[in-house]
């Protein structure tokens, strides 16, 4: 940057030229929008600095505590000196065996713990790195719209092209796989699905998953199923694994996370399971980018699965079901049309009074001191929708509903 050659005498003063070069990020960064939840946090903080009591229903970050038995396992693991060294890049043998055993117990799916399981520093990391490992320039990646933004942004960063699959309410927020042209299927490398779904809360029947597996087998497409909300369900519903579908292991990878079911978002631990070729590629990519999950966290994750997870899920879902019903009832009284989801801890509903998503989100922040997520942040098809996360106590949710009701009642009628 205009620096002169170093002087022969080391004690001689080094001078620099007057010319200053501008530091410019890589061109690919211009394709990235501000990360949604970072921006929501900024807006909420700006209101708090004005002395406002802001209720943040924007981020899907559980407010419930990590179960005590998992914390105890972590504490014990921290005192084992061997755990202070580099972890296994792919996850310890014990961790991968525990994941395989859980899939056998929970989904009746048999996995090879060596070739079909890899540990992740949270699903977000694994999703990004799998895209980089499997897709590149000229490839198409089939991405739902609306969807978790990482599917699209990492496709763009990898140099591949996202092909948007609309998730429409008339189809139960399932993509119409039959409407995708054959020419697109033939160029596609990956198909991303996420059920139970973020942001819509929709669920997918096994018949739909079977159709997705069959199409991916026909066109040699890797089916990637983000199953982060598998354990978060209500009213008798229980989410399946895509790997339960016959033939799925030939073409599918699934992501299973500890974040939501065990309230461990900050612990950053997950696993990818399924097709051995994709799992091997993901593991190779990760070995060049990170050093694996802290072994003590892996031991805590094993304890989570081998303890009494069903009791954890039952307690958690009872809390979220009560919160769901409170919000649905309160917002319906405010003349909003809010469907009752069978899974996830999200509500997905149309904006009031023909507002855009951004207008409605700004309205509730400014008039009700409540953060709700604009659906447009999840894609073009999210325009006209809002998402609420049930991640505050009942008292705070009740207050948020009261504020939102009051704000809406003050609006003039059309």
| Collapsed DSSP state (helix, strand, coil) of residue 33 | coil
Mean pLDDT of 355-372: 94
- Residue 123 has a pLDDT of 98
Please, which residues have CB within 8 angstroms of residue 271's CB and are 6 or more apart in sequence? 91, 95, 96, 99, 117, 118, 119, 120, 255, 256
CA–CA separation, 402 vs 98, rounded Å? 45
Domains annotated for the chain, with CATH where assigned, are: 27-65+310-409 (3.90.1150.10), 68-307 (3.40.640.10)
- Can you give the pLDDT at residue 1? 43
Q: What is the pLDDT of residue 30?
A: 82
Tens digits of per-residue pLDDT, 169-209? 999 999 999 999 999 999 999 999 999 999 999 999 999 99
Q: How many residues does the chain have?
A: 414
User: What is the percentage of the chain residues whose pLDDT exceeds 70?
Assistant: 94
pLDDT greater than 80 at residue 351: yes
pTM score, whole prediction: 0.92
pLDDT at 48 (0 to 100)? 81
Cα–Cα nearest to 158, from 269, 23, 285: 285
How far apart are the C-alpha atoms of 263 and 247, rounded to whole Å? 32
In this structure, the dihedral spanned by the alpha carbons of residues 18, 23, 24 and 29, taken in order and rounded to 10 degrees, is -170
More confident residue, 41 or 222: 222
pLDDT at 328: 98
Give ∠ CA 197-225-30 in degrees, rounded to 5.
Answer: 80
Closest of 122, 140, 123, 257 to residue 191, by C-alpha: 140
Q: What is the mean pLDDT of residues 387-395?
A: 98
The pLDDT, as a whole number, for residue 10 is: 44
pLDDT digit string (tens) for 75-128? 999 999 999 999 999 999 999 999 999 999 999 999 999 999 999 999 999 999
Reported as half-sphere exposure (CB side, CA atoms, 13 A), residue 276 has a value of: 6
Per residue, the 3-state secondary structure of 311-349, as one string, reads: HHHHHHHHHHHHHHHHHHHHHHHCCCCCCCCCECCEEEE
When the pLDDT of each residue in the chain is averaged and rounded to a whole number, the result is 93
Q: Average pLDDT of 27-40?
A: 74
Instruction: Give the residue carrying structure tokens 């819509």.
Output: 200
103 in Cβ contact with 273 (< 8 Å): yes
Amino acid 3: pLDDT: 40
Q: Has residue 8 got a pLDDT over 90?
A: no
**If we measure between CA atoms, which residue out of 362, 358, 397 comes closest to residue 378?**
358
Is the pLDDT assigned to residue 7 strictly greater than 70? no
2 pLDDT higher than 50: no
pLDDT at 413: 73
Share of the chain above pLDDT 90, in %: 86
CA distance 294 to 83: 8
CA 329 to chain centre: 27
pLDDT of residue 4: 42
Grade residue 5 by pLDDT with cuts at 50, 70 and 90: very low
DSSP state of 192: E
What does residue 188 show for φ and ψ, rounded to 5 degrees? -75, 140
Helix-strand-coil split of the chain, %, nearest 5: 45, 15, 40
pLDDT surpasses 70 at 241? yes
The answer to whether 305 touches 288, Cβ cutoff 8 Å, is no
| Dihedral sign computed on CA atoms, order 263, 265, 267, 271 | positive
């Amino acid at each position: 940057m205009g620096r002169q050659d170093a002087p022969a005498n080391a004690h001689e003063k080094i001078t620099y030229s007057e010319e200053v070069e501008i530091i410019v990020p890589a061109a690919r960064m211009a394709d990235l929008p501000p990360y949604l939840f970072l921006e929501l946090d900024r807006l909420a903080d700006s209101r708090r600095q004005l002395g406002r009591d802001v209720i943040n229903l924007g981020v899907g970050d559980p407010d419930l505590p990590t179960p005590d038995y998992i914390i105890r396992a972590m504490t014990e693991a921290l005192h084992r000196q061997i755990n202070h060294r580099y972890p296994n890049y792919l996850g310890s043998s014990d961790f991968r065996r525990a994941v395989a055993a859980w899939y056998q117990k929970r989904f009746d799916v048999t996995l090879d713990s060596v070739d079909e399981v890899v540990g992740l520093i949270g699903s977000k990391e694994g999703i990004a790195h799998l895209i980089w490992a499997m897709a590149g320039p000229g490839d198409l990646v089939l991405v739902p719209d609306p969807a978790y933004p990482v599917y699209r942004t990492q496709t763009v960063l990898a140099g591949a092209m996202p092909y948007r699959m609309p998730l429409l309410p008339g189809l139960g927020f399932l993509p119409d796989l039959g409407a995708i042209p054959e020419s697109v299927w033939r160029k596609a490398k990956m198909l991303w699905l996420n059920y139970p779904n973020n942001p819509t809360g929709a669920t997918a029947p096994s018949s739909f998953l079977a159709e997705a597996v069959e199409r991916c087998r026909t066109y040699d497409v890797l089916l990637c199923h983000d199953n982060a909300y598998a354990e978060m369900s209500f009213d008798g519903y229980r989410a399946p694994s895509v790997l339960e579908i016959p033939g799925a292991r030939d073409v599918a990878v699934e992501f299973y996370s500890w974040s939501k079911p065990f309230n461990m978002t900050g612990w950053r631990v997950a696993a990818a399971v399924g097709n051995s070729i994709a799992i091997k590629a993901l593991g190779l990519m990760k070995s060049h980018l990170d050093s694996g999950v802290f072994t003590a966290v892996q031991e805590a994750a094993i304890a989570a699965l081998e303890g009494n997870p069903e009791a954890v899920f039952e307690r958690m879902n009872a809390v979220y079901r009560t919160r769901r019903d409170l919000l649905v009832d309160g917002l319906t009284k405010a003349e909003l049309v809010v469907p009752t989801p069978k899974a996830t801890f999200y509500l997905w509903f149309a904006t009031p009074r023909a507002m855009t998503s951004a207008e409605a989100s700004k309205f509730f922040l400014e008039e009700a001191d409540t953060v709700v997520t604009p659906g447009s942040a999840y894609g073009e098809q999210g325009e006209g929708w809002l998402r609420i996360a049930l991640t505050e106590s009942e008292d705070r949710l009740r207050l948020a509903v009261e504020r939102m009701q009051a704000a809406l009642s003050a609006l003039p009628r059309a």
